[in-house]
Amino acid sequence: MQTSTDRILTTHVGSIPRPESVKALLRARLSGQSIDAAQLAARVAVAVAEVTRQQAEVGIDVISDGEMSKTSFLAYADERLTGFVATTAADPNIPASNAGGAWARRLDTRREWRAFREYYQEYLPQAMPPSAPPSVCQGPVAYKGQALLERDLATFKAALQGVNVAEAFVPAIAPAMVGRGQNQYYATEEEYVFAIAEALKTEYKTIVDAGFILQIDDPGLGETWDMMLPAPPLEEYRRMQARNIEALNHALAGIPEERVRYHLCWGSWQGPHVHDLGLRDIVDLMLRVKAQAYSVEAATPRHSYEWRVWEDVRLPDGKVLIPGVIAHTTAVVEHPETVAELIMNFARVVGRERVIAGADCGFAQGALYQRQHPTVMWAKFAALVQGAGLASQRLWR
């Protein structure tokens, strides 16, 4: 992957708000309605071409297809893996944390949501509209999404023709994020997550073979901490996550590290986040992932101090950091000087060539809701590019 050899490169996390023409069909499909697949593919192709052009015009160096075809960064896997069957929200075997739109049940599934119940009772139903109930695993997991994946990659390749960017990446979900708490087939959770990892090998390899950088989306490394009730001992949690990373590395076997980047955040919702685990508690686990670059939330007030972690933790040789220097959790557009200052902090501790400026997380949760209005997102992307330019002037003058 390209690195910041003579200036700070810019990128983001992948998900961009879909146009209503695409969202309407994706929402219909989520609700179980029959849709015209050819019509959806045509609308997605137009949306990908437009968002590719817009990213290049605003000055982002390493771009995505906006994940236009995906119902969400996570739920898209239901269409690409065998073994999962649909359920209803009333299914007693479904954990409350996965129970679709049943917020009365879900509010008790995170320590954060319990601690700020009055806030989240108002916020969550508005920010996260009801979703389809999840599927559950009732059979062997295998990959069946080759046609869907290859169509996405071909669409993105076509959109990139004549567009001047440094590189392009395609996000894919981490094995341990798929079907959390939904195993009704495998004897153990370890067997379950490794079966998913084996299946996802196909997706990962196909993305890289097509010439794209593979981004692994894995908010679960940090976010799952808040979902465990009661809070487990930290070492017990770390053992579980070490197993998950081992499964991820199994799925990445044979793929060159320099073609992989790994994304970690603490969830997309706008809230206090006082129960977030610190980066310092899991940074060594993150560095076990067989990737060249690590995309880490760093702009939100809860985590903006964590550039200091790298004063004590050595970033291994050849590795790159993609700190978030614009936040998805606020509509306030960061001043370019603020962006430049955060970039400079990271550059001082790990080296300017080992920093690519990024975003904390994606700006849309698939077809269901957007985290910020598109006009705000594009203004933030412009500030990201401007701030990276200021930092580059100072770092290379």
Q: Secondary structure of 303-349 in the HEC alphabet?
A: CHHHHHHHHHCCCCCCCEEEEEEECCCCCCCCCHHHHHHHHHHHHHH
Q: Using the predicted structure, report yes or no on whether residue 272 has a pLDDT greater than 70.
A: yes
Average pLDDT (66-89) is 88
Per-residue pLDDT tens over the stretch 24-45: 998 888 877 889 999 999 999 9
What are the φ/ψ torsions at residue 115 (nearest 5 degrees)?
Answer: -70, -30
Per-residue pLDDT tens over the stretch 317-327: 999 999 999 99
Cα–Cα distance for residue pair 218/178, rounded to 1 Å: 10
Per-residue pLDDT tens over the stretch 341-383: 999 999 999 999 999 999 999 998 766 778 889 999 999 999 9
Residues 99 and 133: beta-carbon distance below 8 Å: yes
Q: What is the pLDDT of residue 317?
A: 97
Cα–Cα distance for residue pair 334/154, rounded to 1 Å: 35
What are the φ/ψ torsions at residue 385 (nearest 5 degrees)?
Answer: -65, -45
Cα–Cα distance for residue pair 162/167, rounded to 1 Å: 13
Cα–Cα distance for residue pair 185/294, rounded to 1 Å: 33
Least confident residue range of 52-61, 217-226, 338-347: 217-226
Give the Å distances, CA to CA, from 54 to 63, 65, 97, 258, 341. Answer: 10, 11, 36, 27, 26
Q: What is the pLDDT of residue 123?
A: 82
Q: What is the pLDDT of residue 99?
A: 46
End-to-end Cα distance, the chain: 25
Q: What is the pTM of this model?
A: 0.94
Return the closest-CA partner of residue 182 out of 103, 112, 96.
Answer: 96
Determine the 3-state secondary structure of 215 from DSSP: strand
Give the Å distances, CA to CA, from 235 to 177, 218, 229, 243, 281. Answer: 20, 19, 15, 12, 10
Residues 216 and 289: beta-carbon distance below 8 Å: yes
Residue matched to tokens 């004063």: 311
Cα–Cα distance for residue pair 218/248, rounded to 1 Å: 10
Return the closest-CA partner of residue 172 out of 144, 200, 131.
Answer: 200
DSSP 8-state class, residue 132: P
Per-residue pLDDT tens over the stretch 298-314: 999 999 999 999 999 99
Least confident residue range of 2-11, 114-123, 258-267: 114-123
Interhelix angle 336-350/374-396, rounded to 10 degrees, is 50
* CB neighbourhood size of 144 (10 A): 14
Q: Using the predicted structure, report yes or no on whether residue 163 has a pLDDT greater than 60.
A: yes
Tell me what the pLDDT averaged over the chain comes to.
Answer: 92
Determine the 3-state secondary structure of 212 from DSSP: coil
Instruction: Give me 101's structure tokens.
Output: 């739109």
Determine the 3-state secondary structure of 86 from DSSP: strand
Q: What is the pLDDT of residue 104?
A: 67
- Alpha helices, H only, the chain: 20-30, 37-58, 103-106, 111-115, 117-127, 146-160, 189-209, 220-227, 234-252, 283-286, 309-312, 336-350, 374-396
Determine the 3-state secondary structure of 175 from DSSP: helix
Instruction: Give me 92's structure tokens.
Output: 């007693």
Q: Which residue has the higher pLDDT, 86 or 317?
A: 317
Q: What is the pLDDT of residue 129?
A: 60
Cα–Cα distance for residue pair 337/386, rounded to 1 Å: 8
Q: How many residues does the chain have?
A: 397
Parallel, antiparallel or unpaired: strands 84-86 and 135-137:
antiparallel
Residue matched to tokens 């590395």: 249
Residue matched to tokens 């590290």: 257
Average pLDDT (156-169) is 97
Q: Using the predicted structure, report yes or no on whether residue 97 has a pLDDT greater than 60.
A: no
Cα–Cα distance for residue pair 279/45, rounded to 1 Å: 38
Q: What is the pLDDT of residue 30?
A: 80
